[in-house]
């Protein structure tokens, strides 16, 4: 599996978004005309899109890049879940091991708004860049299955990222299959998380889930950003 080194950069909004200022040429000049790179936000959300894309004849490879999941223990659990799905479905998954949670938290604590837009841009730019480098002509994302995400913002952001790297973004509205995908994940024994991923979503999830998670992580309310607890 391909694993880039973790890059250490000073936190700014442009650094959060910057994966590369210019498109990279395909690493080996190969192209994959029928192949598609699926950015995977997590295992459960990837279930239904993967099934649908394969039914449509795409040869799908996965790409895991979600660097702001909090805490690292949860990031590791979700990555393990993606690996389990990959095994079950005979799916090649490329893992980007970059973890930038502290940068993300520093940014989010000061920005106070628009965090999901930045989060989408961060992930879609990395996915588009990686797809272009590896010779894929198109990519999409499992984020499009979730009714809890901002579908239009994801599509808009992903199209811009695709254009930046000279490839296409495949827009497919998978949301009608969200429940089915969750059932598939349950049947496959995948862990199904109760919050989106970042520390802000952990703090904003239902208190019964939030408190259970905090306890399992060895954290408490004081570990959440003040804006979430009012402390
Ligand atoms: S709530 Fe989800 S989409 Fe929004 S910033 Fe947090 S991890 Fe990203």
Q: Which of 126, 201, 210, 225 should be mutated for ligand 1, with most atoms under 8 A from CB?
A: 201
Q: Which of 69, 115, 120, 194 should be mutated for ligand 1, with most atoms under 8 A from CB?
A: 115
Going from the C-alpha of 213 to that of each of 20, 197, 219, 221, the distances in angstroms are 35, 12, 8, 11
Q: Is residue 12 pLDDT above 80, yes or no?
A: no
The hierarchical CATH code for the domain 30-192 is: 3.40.50.620
Is there a contact between 169 and 159 (Cβ–Cβ < 8 Å)?
A: yes
Which of the four pLDDT bands, split at 50, 70 and 90, describes residue 3? very low
Which structure tokens are listed for 78?
């979700």
In order, the DSSP letters of the chain are ---PPPP-----HHHHH-S-SSPPPPSSS--BTTEEEEEES-HHHHHHHHHHHHHTT-EEEEEE--TT-SSHHHHHHHHHHHHHHHHHHT--EEE-----HHHHHHHHHHH-S-HHHHHHHHHHHHHHHHHHHHTBSEEEEGGGG-TTS-HHHHHHHHHHHHHHTT-EE-----GGGHHHHHHHHHHTT----SS-SSHHHHHHS-HHHHHHHHHHHT--GGGS-HHHH--
* 128 touches ligand 1 (CB under 6 Å): no
Closest Cα to atom 1 of ligand 1: 201
* 201 touches ligand 1 (CB under 6 Å): yes
The pLDDT of residue 209:
94
Residue holding tokens 């497919």? 172
Q: Is residue 197 pLDDT above 90, yes or no?
A: yes
Closest Cα to atom 4 of ligand 1: 116
Contacts of residue 224, Cβ cutoff 8 Å, sequence gap at least 6: 199, 202, 203, 214
Closest Cα to atom 5 of ligand 1: 116
Domain map of the chain by residue range? 30-192
pLDDT digits (tens, 9 = 90+) for 115-153: 899 899 999 999 999 999 999 999 999 999 999 999 999
* 116 touches ligand 1 (CB under 6 Å): yes
Q: Is residue 113 pLDDT above 80, yes or no?
A: no
* 196 touches ligand 1 (CB under 6 Å): yes
* 198 touches ligand 1 (CB under 6 Å): yes
**Of 23-32, 83-92, 121-130, 162-171, minimum mean pLDDT range:** 23-32
| pTM: predicted TM-score of the whole model, two decimal places | 0.86
* 119 touches ligand 1 (CB under 6 Å): yes
* 197 touches ligand 1 (CB under 6 Å): yes
The pLDDT of residue 111:
58
The pLDDT of residue 112:
54
* 64 touches ligand 1 (CB under 6 Å): no
In order, the DSSP letters of 17-68 are H-S-SSPPPPSSS--BTTEEEEEES-HHHHHHHHHHHHHTT-EEEEEE--TT
Q: b/e string for 142-181 if b means 16 or more Cβ within 10 A?
A: bbbbbeebebebbbbbbeebbebbebbbbeeebbebbeeb
- Ligand 1 atom with the smallest distance to the CA of 199 is 6
pLDDT digits (tens, 9 = 90+) for 214-226: 999 999 898 887 7
69 phi and psi angles, rounded to 5 deg: -70, 135
* 86 touches ligand 1 (CB under 6 Å): no
- Ligand 1 atom with the smallest distance to the CA of 104 is 5
> Rounded distance, CA 10 to CA 8, Å?
7
């Amino acid at each position: 599996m391909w694993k880039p080194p973790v890059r250490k950069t000073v936190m700014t909004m442009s650094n959060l978004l910057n994966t590369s200022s210019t498109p990279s040429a395909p690493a080996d000049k190969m192209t994959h005309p029928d192949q598609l790179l699926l950015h995977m936000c997590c295992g459960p959300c990837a279930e239904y899109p993967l099934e649908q894309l394969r039914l449509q004849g795409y040869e799908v490879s996965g790409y895991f890049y979600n660097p702001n999941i909090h805490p690292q223990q949860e990031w590791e659990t979700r990555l393990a879940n993606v690996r389990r799905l990959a095994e079950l479905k005979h799916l090649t998954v490329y893992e980007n091991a970059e973890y930038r949670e502290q940068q993300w938290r520093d940014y989010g604590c000061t920005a106070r708004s628009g965090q999901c837009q930045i989060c989408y841009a961060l992930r879609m730019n990395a996915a588009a860049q990686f797809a272009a480098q590896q010779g894929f002509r198109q990519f999409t994302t499992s984020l499009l299955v979730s009714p809890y995400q901002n579908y239009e913002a994801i599509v808009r952001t992903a199209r811009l990222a695709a254009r930046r790297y000279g490839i296409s973004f495949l827009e497919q509205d998978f949301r009608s299959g969200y429940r089915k995908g969750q059932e598939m994940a349950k049947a496959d024994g995948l862990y199904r998380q109760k919050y989106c991923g970042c520390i802000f979503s952990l703090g904003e999830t239902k208190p019964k889930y939030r408190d259970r998670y905090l306890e399992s992580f060895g954290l408490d309310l004081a570990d959440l950003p003040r804006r979430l607890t009012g402390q």
